[in-house]
Amino acid sequence: DTGVSQDPRHKITKRGQNVTFRCDPISEHNRLYWYRQTLGQGPEFLTYFQNEAQLEKSRLLSDRFSAERPKGSFSTLEIQRTEQGDSAMYLCASSPSWGGGPYEQYFGPGTRLTVT
Amino acid sequence: GQQLNQSPQSMFIQEGEDVSMNCTSSSIFNTWLWYKQEPGEGPVLLIALYKAGELTSNGRLTAQFGITRKDSFLNISASIPSDVGIYFCPTSSNTGKLIFGQGTTLQVKP
């Protein structure tokens, strides 16, 4: 399977704990995006990388959130001191920067975070 | 800010019926995409539109990019139970980030 993969698929944590999610994009894609989706809503943009450079961050990405893509391949999203409002589906997507361009993003299955 | 409206919000149809849903925006866009999302999964890209007036098909799905670049529609012909899901029509900023509306939820009765 050469699609976008995310790990873990589900995470339950207690308020105040730190969590880290991983995303492995499609191998030839140099752009990687993180989105957050709450129940009944469409995904909301969090941040994106071109290769290892983080080029844009949403205001939704508070100081407790940090994302990295150290070698321009996989990416991690860390949430520190989780709050109940962080409960959501965290989606990763990747795209090439040529042809149809960055617009045709391919999503992973998501990580469902529940903060108790 | 940019507003993206999808209608209808939900649809409940009989298997075999044709379906039509649309998206409108207050802003002009150069790209319009259609995705389908099933419960517990990430959105799956169905169709990408790049030119005003463009009409593109993918199997039983047909989508068009409006001439004004402020709207798009998606038609599904002869619906089947596996068409069930939430359909999104995000547009894209210059940086490529997708801007989603609330989606159209489709339910198909066998």
pLDDT in tens, B60-78: 999 999 999 999 999 999 9
Residues of B in contact with A109 (CB under 8 A): 40-42
| Residue B95 to residue A93, Cβ atoms within 8 A | no
Residues of A in contact with B99 (CB under 8 A): 45
pLDDT in tens, A55-81: 999 988 889 999 999 988 999 999 999
Q: Does A5 touch chain B (CB under 8 A)?
A: no
Q: How far apart are CA A53 and CA A43, in angstroms?
A: 22
Q: What is the pLDDT of residue B1?
A: 52
**Closest residue on chain B to A48 (Cα):** B97
Q: What is the pLDDT of residue A102?
A: 58
Higher-confidence residue: B2 or A22?
A22
**Closest residue on chain B to A89 (Cα):** B40
Query: Is A36's pLDDT higher than 90?
Result: yes
Nearest to B88 among A4, A42, A109 (CB): A42
B48 forms beta bridges with: B33
Nearest to B97 among A33, A91, A106 (CB): A33
Phi, psi values for residue A84, rounded to 5°: -60, -30
Q: List, in sequence order, every beta strand (DSSP E) within A4-110.
A: 5-7, 10-13, 19-24, 31-37, 44-50, 53-57, 65-68, 75-79, 88-95, 106-107
Q: What is the pLDDT of residue A94?
A: 94
Q: What is the pLDDT of residue A61?
A: 86
- pLDDT, average across residues B76-81: 97
pLDDT in tens, A77-104: 999 999 999 999 999 999 987 665 657 8
Q: What is the pLDDT of residue A28?
A: 86
Interface of A with B in 30-69 (CB under 8 A): 31, 33, 35, 40-45, 48, 55-56
Query: Is A1's pLDDT higher than 80?
Result: no
Lateral strand order in the sheet of B61-65: B4-7, B19-25, B71-76, B61-65, B55-58
Min Cα distance B18 → chain A (Å) is 24
- pLDDT, average across residues B84-96: 89
Query: Is B86's pLDDT higher than 70?
Result: yes
Least confident residue range of A46-55, A106-115, B2-11: B2-11
